[in-house]
Chain A
Amino acid sequence: SAVISQKPSRDICQRGTSLTIQCQVDSQVTMMFWYRQQPGQSLTLIATANQGSEATYESGFVIDKFPISRPNLTFSTLTVSNMSPEDSSIYLCSGVTGAHEQFFGPGTRLTVL
């Protein structure tokens, strides 16, 4: 298995500002992903965080809004840029182990005022 931590656990931000979320995995994972979970809803994949290269974004998500970095096998960041109240959500990081199991972090609860 993999233990995944995220920082911050929650934040309240003003519209127009940006927030960077950090994700740390305790062991090497083959893949890392970022998901969004709006209140009371299911999870939606934002992007695949690729080590040392640009992330791969899903339809409806763009790099200018959600820049992602993954400098090594166990760490990734997601930035939510130029925030609006519609960005209020839970942002979740995940990692896939060599056994192809996907584990999630505890999430970052973002409120934009």
Chain B
Amino acid sequence: GENVEQHPSTLSVQEGDSAVIKCTYSDSASNYFPWYKQELGKGPQLIIDIRSNVGEKKDQRIAVTLNKTAKHFSLHITETQPEDSAVYFCAASHGDSWGKLQFGAGTQVVVTP
């Protein structure tokens, strides 16, 4: 089955700097890669996703890149703000198991003012 690895496990950045989280996946059939932000005591919130026919997608300060050949994808947050502090999860799924997300272990992001 699919295996998703996520790095780093923790990330501390100064406010205004950029944050990058990287994930690799094992199943070459995976074609959908969402990212979730989970604040303390809340459910995961979908912040951006990318499908395998796209190499990059951007939404304001957030961007995701996908390298299908290398089987890795990354989340980029620019101009970080204290409210970006949370746990971020990457995930992957493919058409045969649509909706069955395999999650990475998560990255605790701390943005210090």
Residues of A within 8 A of B (CB): 4, 30-31, 33, 41-45, 48, 58, 92, 96, 100-107
Contacts and interface: CB of A to CB of B under 8 A. Distances in A.
Interface stretch (B12-20, B59-67, B68-76, B97-105): B97-105
Contacts of B104: 42
Contacts of A104: 36, 43-46
Contact of A106 (B43, B98, B100): B43
B89 A43 contact: yes
A102 B103 contact: no
Interface of B: 32, 34, 36, 42-46, 49, 89, 98-106
Contact of B46 (A33, A101, A107): A101
B99 A102 contact: yes
Query: Which of A102, A104, A106 has most B Cβ within 10 Å?
Result: A102
- Grouping DSSP codes into helix (H, G, I), strand (E, B) and loop, the A interface class, with mixed when no group exceeds half, is strand
A102 B46 contact: yes
Nearest to B93: A102
A43 B99 contact: no
Q: Which 5 residue pairs across A and B have the least CB separation, nearest first?
A: A104-B43, A106-B43, A31-B99, A42-B103, A96-B99
